[in-house]
């Protein structure tokens, strides 16, 4: 029987651990060929080993997202090999400093914006033509409630501001592709999940009270499928609902 993502070419950033790893494995399980990007080469090789045990393989891209020229080269390499990209999951992110706005060092702020915002814009710039060349290009940006809920974000200012900017990039890209292509663009909010990032934010929390990334991954896979039709919307895992953008009252 044909798998839902059979032969789809899928780039997943932050695939070395946590949510991105779970998404990469889920997309592969559903038939996609995964291009797995992160800095930690050994962790990417473990994904490839896991897939090879099931007769599949991944394309590994050990890369720092702050190397913006490398993101341009990645687009060219995907074009040379496949001439298109079916799925782009912009998952990689950093939490950054957990401290009052007035205490954040400028380099720490800039690092959060480089990874969470600029790298994702550079990837849109590099991959747009490839997504449009697909018969059903899908982009999913992994965001956070922090981007739209500033009242809750004391001490997470850099992260919250970066996710608000990411939300704007995704909605803008959705608006730019909705009428002129078959590309569909979603934001996906996992809520608190059992990962290294969450443990860094909440060191005293029992991780076992949290849901696992493997539960969220099939929801992202559904948004990557050719039959997904929504665009410019926000999927919230906690409520399992697709929401439109709500401007402040
Ligand atoms: P995580 O466990 O810390 O994993 C982050 C991933 O991003 C890793 O694979 C890491 O790979 C990659 N990454 C970080 N900086 C990078 C860089 N400069 N270049 C390339 N890759 C980089 O975090 P997570 O919890 O899975 O988070 C994934 C996404 O979900 C993030 O966007 C996060 O904001 C969002 N999110 C998470 C939660 C949660 O509760 N976990 C809640 C809401 C939103 P390397 O270190 O190998 O490079």
For the question of residue 159 being annotated catalytic, the response is: yes
For residues 72, 92, 236, 2, the Cα torsion angle rounded to the nearest 10 degrees is: 70
Does the CB atom of residue 123 touch ligand 1 within 6 A?
no
Q: Which helix (H) or strand (E) holds 59?
A: strand 59-62
**132, 181 Cβ separation under 8 angstroms:** yes
Residue 96, sorted as left (phi over 0), alpha (psi -120 to 50) or beta, turns out to be left
pLDDT category, 164, cuts 50, 70, 90? Answer: very high
The residue ranking higher by pLDDT, 43 or 154, is 43
Give the number of the atom of ligand 1 that is nearest the alpha carbon of residue 40: 47
CA distance 245 to 18: 27
Q: What is the mean pLDDT of residues 143-155?
A: 83
Give the number of the atom of ligand 1 that is nearest the alpha carbon of residue 17: 9
pLDDT category, 39, cuts 50, 70, 90? Answer: very high
**32, 9 Cβ separation under 8 angstroms:** yes
The DSSP bridge partners found for residue 234 are 187, 243
pTM over 0.85? The answer is: yes
DSSP for the chain, written as a single string? ---TTTT-EEEEESTTSHHHHHHHHHHHHTTPEEEEEES-HHHHHHHHHHHHTTT---EEEE--TT-HHHHHHHHHHHHHHHS--SEEEE--------B-GGG--HHHHHHHHIIIIIHHHHHHHHHHHHHHHSTT-EEEEE--GGGT-GGG-TTBHHHHHHHHHHHHHHHHHHHHHTTTSS-EEEEEE--SBSSHHHHHH-TTS-GGGSBPHHHHHHHHHHHTSTT----SEEEETTTTEEE------
Does the CB atom of residue 14 touch ligand 1 within 6 A?
yes
- In the reported structure, the alpha carbon of residue 18 is separated from the centroid of ligand 1 by a whole-number distance in angstroms of 7
Task: Delimit the domains of the chain by residue range.
Answer: 9-243
Closest residue (by CA) to atom 38 of ligand 1? 192
Q: What percent of the chain has pLDDT over 90?
A: 93
**74, 61 Cβ separation under 8 angstroms:** yes
Closest residue (by CA) to atom 48 of ligand 1? 39
pLDDT of residue 148: 85
pLDDT of residue 150: 57
Q: State pLDDT tens for residues 112-147.
A: 999 999 999 999 999 999 999 999 999 999 999 998
pLDDT of residue 151: 61
pLDDT category, 248, cuts 50, 70, 90? Answer: low
Record the tokens describing residue 231, joined without a space.
């665009």
CA distance 236 to 133: 29
CA distance 145 to 179: 28
pLDDT category, 231, cuts 50, 70, 90? Answer: very high
The class of domain 9-243 in CATH terms is alpha beta
Widest Cα–Cα separation across the chain: 57
Does the CB atom of residue 162 touch ligand 1 within 6 A?
no
Average pLDDT score, the chain: 96
| CA angle, residues 84, 68, 13, in degrees to nearest 5 | 55
CA distance 65 to 67: 5
64, 120, 195: residue to mutate for ligand 1 pocket, most atoms within 8 A of CB: 195
65, 192, 197: residue to mutate for ligand 1 pocket, most atoms within 8 A of CB: 197
Give the number of the atom of ligand 1 that is nearest the alpha carbon of residue 145: 43
């Amino acid at each position: 029987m044909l798998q839902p993502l059979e032969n789809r070419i899928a780039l997943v950033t932050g695939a070395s651990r946590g949510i991105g790893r779970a998404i990469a494995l889920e997309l592969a399980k559903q038939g996609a060929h995964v291009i797995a990007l992160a800095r930690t080469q050994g962790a990417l090789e473990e994904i490839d080993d896991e897939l090879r045990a099931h007769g599949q393989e991944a394309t590994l891209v050990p890369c720092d997202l702050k190397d913006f020229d490398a993101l341009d080269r990645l687009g060219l390499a995907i074009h040379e090999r496949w001439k298109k990209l079916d799925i782009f999951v912009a998952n990689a992110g950093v939490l950054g400093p957990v401290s009052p706005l007035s205490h954040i060092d400028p380099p720490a702020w800039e690092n959060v914006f480089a990874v969470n915002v600029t790298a994702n814009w550079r990837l849109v710039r590099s991959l747009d033509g490839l997504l449009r060349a697909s018969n059903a290009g899908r982009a999913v940006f992994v965001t956070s409630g922090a981007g739209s809920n500033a009242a809750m974000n004391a001490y997470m200012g850099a992260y919250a501001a970066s996710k608000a900017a990411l939300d704007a990039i995704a909605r803008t890209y959705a608006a730019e592709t909705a009428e002129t292509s078959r590309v569909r663009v979603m934001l996906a909010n996992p809520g608190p999940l059992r990962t290294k990032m969450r443990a860094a934010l909440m060191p005293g929390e029992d991780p076992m009270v949290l849901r696992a990334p493997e539960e969220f991954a099939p929801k992202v896979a559904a948004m990557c499928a050719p039959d997904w039709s929504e665009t410019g919307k926000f999927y919230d895992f906690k409520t399992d609902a697709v929401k439109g953008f709500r401007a402040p009252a």
